[in-house]
Amino acid sequence: MSEGQPVDDRTAEGSVPTIVQTDDVLGGEPRIDGRRVGVYDVYSRYRETESVDETAAAYQLSEPEVHTAVAYAAANPEQMAAVAERARQSYEQHASEGLTPESA
C-alpha cells in the first residue's frame, strides 16, 4: 500500500484493491481483500443498478473496490457462473426447508 490516509478506512489512497480467495471466508469464493463481500454479489448488484455509487453504498465499499470486483467478474465469467450456480442450489435447498428471505 502507498503511504497516505486511507479512503473510508479501507483503501489507501492510490492503492488498488485486491481480490482474494480463502477457504475459510465465504466458502472460498472470490472477495475483496479485507472484506466479507463476494465479487459475485458486487457484480450482480452493479449489473442491476448500472451504478458504481449505488453499488458502493449498498455494500459500504469504495468506488475502487467496486471497480476491481466488476473487472474481476468480467474477466472470470466461468468462475462467476459457478458461484451463481452454487448460490442458486443453496437457495433451492433452503427454500425446500422453508428458509428463504421471503419467509423471514
* 3-class SS shares of the chain: helix, strand, coil, % to 5: 55, 10, 35
Mean pLDDT of 69-83: 96
**Local confidence band at 2 (pLDDT 50, 70, 90 cut-offs):** very low
Count CB atoms within 10 A of the CB of residue 33: 13
- Note the pLDDT tens digit of each residue in 6-52: 334 445 556 788 999 999 999 899 999 999 999 999 999 999 999 99
**Local confidence band at 104 (pLDDT 50, 70, 90 cut-offs):** low
**Local confidence band at 101 (pLDDT 50, 70, 90 cut-offs):** low
Residue 100 is given by DSSP the state S
Question: Domains in the chain, start-ordered, CATH in brackets?
Answer: 17-103 (1.10.10.10)
Grid cell locating 87: 448460490
pLDDT of residue 97: 80
